[in-house]
Every structure is written in structure tokens, then in C-alpha cells.
Structure 1
Amino acid sequence: MNTSSNTADKSAVIVPIDIVYNITYYLANDRVTLKSCSLVSQEWHAVARKHLLSSILVHNAREEHNLSGFHRFVLEDPSSCHFITTLRIAHKGSHWNTIHGIYQILKQLPRLRALAIEHLHVLDTAECAHRDVMLPISLELLSLTDCSAATSGPQVDWHPFFDLINMFPTVKTLFLLTYPTTKVGCAMHYESPEIRLEDVDRAFLECLNQRVDLSEVASLVLLPRAHLRHFQPTLSGLHSLKSILISADASDIHFLGLRSLTSLEVIEFEVYVFNLMLVQSVAPGFTAKLRLVNHVLETLPPSSSVSSIRIYLRTAYINRGDFEQFPGQINAVEWGALPSTVASLRNLSMLAIHLDPSLPPIDATDRENMDPALGEGLGASAQRIRSKFDGMKVTVLSHGRAI
């Protein structure tokens, strides 16, 4: 045994620190290195561009990097288009584009799998309005963030981004952050826009229900930052939904009903309390939002197939010096009717309550930052929470570890 151990020790090589620095430098600048290699010969160029062109960022900081410049590039070198699998368009400012112009670019990218568009302003023009054009591309990811459109008339029941959405036959994961999509095969993220008028948001959701096939969506992340009352028809149409994460930020979350979601198995709630200065506001904030959580769970029939419920209790803007008061605040939370509502779900096998991950670690995994006193307090709080759910198996976690 000793001989084997000595042999292993002799085989170990300590790399000099200057070599480590060189390795990390080249890793951080691998695209620059590949670009230099691609200029050496045609052989190097053929190998390097496969990696250099796999992910493209288009922005409007320089003319050659904007959409028009990228369009010229794909027309001048069609062979390069086969290497592009990820395209991110980030246009900040007052630059306007048309859906037709974007389509002219996308049809040149047959292997595109991920499309992310941020801060893009789109003009509604007669050239492309209401035109249904399908691309032979099935996306792994479609993400639209803070995109806006200028329509030519007062109508709000149609949006130019639906033309972009309808170009793709399927999308595996959809991020609807302020807008749009197509048929979704796996996951959907929806965040209602903060600055949009309620009637505009309602009209958009009605159009979404009419034009987008959500029947195969298995996972939904619902992050309401404004109004939510008009989302129920969309939610009721998700017949294949198996998991849902709901942020309890919206005051009108009580408009949501889960009764029609017969395939639902996992429900997650994010309960945020935004505490700017006073830690005393944490307990009432959690109590009020847990009432909303309970209201949503009450819409589930006792025979529901839900087997797992996870509740994340999170705070924001708490001072590190106030962490020691957190266990006391958790103890002051009123759980109300939530324990009895949860107990009525016959197929439920797991209830997990996750405490704020911003808390310092309470075990020996991080000795420098761990807080034994906090750990003792949270341990008592966890026991108190479990006592509220008498007879049920409840797991209380901090940093992913049961306490």
C-alpha cells in the first residue's frame, strides 16, 4: 500500500505559477487566439471559424457590428452561416428595425438554436404586417427582453413581434420578458411588463392565447411584476404543465387558479420581502404573502396530482448586522391556514421551505464566514416551522442543506 502511495506522489507534477497565469490568460482570450490562428492558413481558418462563429453578438455600438453590418456579413460569406448556433441582438438606443429585416437575416442561419433579443425597437410596416412566414428552424431558446414596437394604428390586439414568433415551428424554452413566442415544447417564462398599460397587456395576452400553442408546455416560471389578473386564461390552457414557479410579488396573485392543471406535480413559490432598512418589516411581509400562497393552493382539488411544494422565503436589502434577528422574525411569521390547506392534498409527499440564501452559512463548509449563533437560532426556527405542520414531513433548508 505504501509503495503504491509513494508512486502516486512521485507522479504528481506541480505546475509553475507563471505557466498557470499563461494558461488562464489564453483561456480568457481564446477567441483572440483563435482569430490569430485563423489567419495563418486556410486549414487553420476552417477549424477556427467553427468556434469563432458559433456565438454572435450584434449590437449598435459600431456600424459594422449592428444588424445591417451583420446582414452584409451573412450575404457576403454564406458558408459561415452554417457555424452560427447562437445569436444575441442587443440594440440599446433609438435604432428602429422591421420584422421583415430580421427575417432576412434569420433565414440565412439554418443551424440557429438560440435567439436572444434585447432592447430592440420594431416598426410596424405594411411590408411585413400580418405576414405569416415560417422558418425551418426549431429553437432551443427564444428570449425577448424589453423589446418594444411602434404600431401604425390605435389597435392593441396585434403586435409586430407575433410575426417574429410565428417564424419558428417550435421553441423548447421560451422567455417572455415583456413580450412574445410560438409553439413551446418544454418551458415558458413569463414576466408581465411594468410600464405597459393594463388594457394593452390584456389585449396582448388574448392575442397570445389565440396565436400561440402552449399545449405541450411542461414547465412555467411566472414572475409577475405588475398585474396578473388577465393571465388566468393562458394558465388554464397549459394542460401538460407539470411544474410551476410563481413569484408572490403581485398583489393580484389571488386571481390565479390551479384547478384546471390536472398534470401539475411540482409547485414552487418565491416569497420576497423587500426590506430597505427596518428588519421589523420582515415577519408581517412574509405573513401577508403566505396568505396569498395559501389562496392559490386552495384552488387545488384534494385529488390533485401535486406531490411536491417548495416555498422560498427571501429578503432583499437586509444589513448583515440584522441577520441575527432573522430567526426571531421567522418565528413571528403567521402561517395561518396554510398547514391545513397543504395537509388536504392527498398526493403530496414533500413540503420544502427554503430560507434566504443571502444568510451566511451555518455549518462548517465555510468556516471563515459561518455564524454558529445564527445556525443555532435557525435550527430552533426550523423546529418551530415543522411544529406548525403537525403530522407532515416538512424539510427546512438553508443553502440547500436541511437544518
Structure 2
Amino acid sequence: MKIQTGIFSLLLLCSSCGVRNTASTDVVKDNFDFASQQLKYAFTEIDSVKSGFTDEQKERHLFAPRNIQPDGSLRLVASRDWCSGFFPGELWYMYEYTKDNYWKQKAEEFTAPVEREKTNAGTHDMGFKVYCSFGNGYRLTGNKEYKEIMLQSAATLITRYKENVGCIRSWDHNRDKWQCPVIIDNMMNLELLYWAFKESGDSIYYNIAVNHARTTMRNHFREDYSSYHVVDYDTITGAVLHKHTHQGYAHESAWSRGQAWGLYGYTMCYRETRLPEFLKQAERIAGFIFSSKTLPEDLIPYWDYNAPQIPDEPRDVSAAAVTACALYELSTYVSDMSMQYKVWADAILENLTKGYRARLRGDRGFLLLHSVGSGNHNSEMDVPIIYADYYFLEALLKKAKLEATGSAVL
């Protein structure tokens, strides 16, 4: 089960030479061709679900697919759900790859409902919701209305910053358990703040993002550079009160998607700041992941690196897809591990394609199977989940751009 890093890497490196490079490039085209058919099927599935809505469901403005329920039905969510930006983001990625206005129109259609979140100060997930939808839309179209929505969203997000803690507060729920919980996922929302700094020139966005990343780096990580999921802070003193792993197996376990969020987050922070401390942290997280004794040979992790019944535990393809995204970019910032990071990312994409892809015109239109939402709560266990699909397409685009231009930044 343990990955034999040296031998495995050598085999992958050899297989990436010569004619193999052409076959490897085909994984991008193959998956976007598949996604084109699958997402068109997803539209029919969405319409079918909405046609049976009750008046109460219509009032909730459910529009974006999130996962397949245990009974096999498609779950749609409203804009307030943290996953609402991923499906429109997928459609923007389809437009980016194909340049077909059909996908632009569908992306605009599914992006529009997320606008109401721009003033929702009750959530830290502004990046996931707004940057993945409007952010990609603005990047690809330059739509000035999208820019204003994003700037308002960034201004809303920083209202959750706690100066005494040095972090943006994550959840508002479970106040009986936590005073000021900060989750590793929140690293992903910092990209919206870095963008807002560049667009507005207001350093408050940059400073908050850097402070949050530094505080998280100081308190979330163990000696082996695995991370806790949740760190709870005293809102007055800023002292750490608890360190938990809410969605993983146990408080001292390494929840696989959490490790991926950290890897992606610190890679992105280095891109935006060029601070060496963030690059070093990203490399250390990668080191933990790829030296793990429980990482399978196909590099698609179990939902928690310490889950008790490995190898009879569900995988989490979402963690793998996020990791691949980070590795492509990270490979451009280092010299000694550059090739290795790309080899690992390529292997992840090829293995996801071969072993984890959904059935064409099946599985409610999702692209990938076998994700886990919260194993500790037996929630979304071994099902397709929308963010796995989003980061799968992102990783494919990063691969294509890296091989064409040497940059993996979209």
C-alpha cells in the first residue's frame, strides 16, 4: 500500500518520455470531451429535479448540484450553500477550454444566482462561492459587473476578520463548542482577498490574507506538517483553546481534504506574495502527503490518512483533484522537486480518469465518483460531490497550460 517514492517516481518519469507525452496530453482532451457530454446531461437532470419542486422548494431557490443522495437522487442547493459556486465554475472552465459561447451562456445562467451572496457576512466561504463563479467569469470576460460583485464580496468577507486572533472566523454554528473556530479550508478563500488587493489597491485585503495564512501556519500544523481541521481561538486574547479535526476520523488524524486545502492554499499564497515562508510550507505539506504510509499507489487518498479500516475505507477523489491542482503550480516555483511534483499530478489525473470517472450519461451528470464530505458524520460518504469535478477540470486546464506555456496559473 505504501508508495515506494523512489522506484515509483522513476517509473513515472520514464513513462513520461517520448510518445508517452502525446498520450498524456490526450487526457485533457479526453476528459473535456467527456465533460461536454456529461454536463449537458447534467442540465437535463437538474431540469428534471426542478420540475418536481414543491412551492416551498421553489422559494428556496435551489439551483446548483452538490451531490448524489443516499437514495440516488440529485441534491440541488441554494446560493447560501458553500458549494454553490462550483457548478458555475465548471461551466466557465468548459468555456475556457472550448471557447464555445454555449458554455459561456450556461455559465452566466448558473453564476447569476450567486450574486445575492455578496453581502452575506454570515459565512467565510465567499471565495468558494464567488471567486469560483464570478471570479472565473471575470477572468474570462472582463465583465465589469462581475468585478463590482467580487469587490463587494471581498469587503464582506473581511468583516469576519478578528484582529486579536489574526484570522478570519470560519463557522458561526456550534457556539457552545467553539469561540472563534478557524478551519484549514479557509486558506482557499484568501485568493479573493489577494485579487481584491490587486484590483482596488487597498492593502487591507493583502494584510488580512497574509496575517491569516501566517496564523494558520503557526497553529494548524503538527511537527510532521499534517494539519488539524479546526483551531479554536479565544476572541479576546487570541490564545488557542482547542485543536480539532471535525470532518476527519479523529482530532489527531490527518483528514485528506484538509491536507489538500493546505497544499493549494499555501501554494497560492506564495504566488500572490512571493514570501518564501509560504513556499516552504507548501513543500512541507506535499512532503507529508507523499511520504504517508497509507497513501495508495494510485495516489488517490483514503478520506483520512489515519482512517481505522484502511484499506477498506472510502477514497476521496476531491482531495486528489485539489492536490493535483496545487502540484502543477508548485512545480513551477521550485527546481529540485519540479519534475516530481508534475509526475505526481499527472499520475493523479490519469488514475482519476481510468478508475474514478462516472458513467457517460449516468450518475446524475457528475464527472467523478468516490468523494467523501464528512466521514466523521457519515455524511456524503463515497458519492460524487461537485467540488471534486470543479478541481478536476481546473487541474486539467493547469496541466494543459503548464505544458504549453510553462505557467500553471489560470
Q: TM-score of the superposition, structure 2-length normalised? A: 0.27
Of Structure 1 and Structure 2, the greater helix share is in 2
Larger-gyration structure (1/2): 1
Higher RCO (CA < 8 A, seq sep 6+): 2
State the TM-score, normalizing by the size of structure 1.
0.28
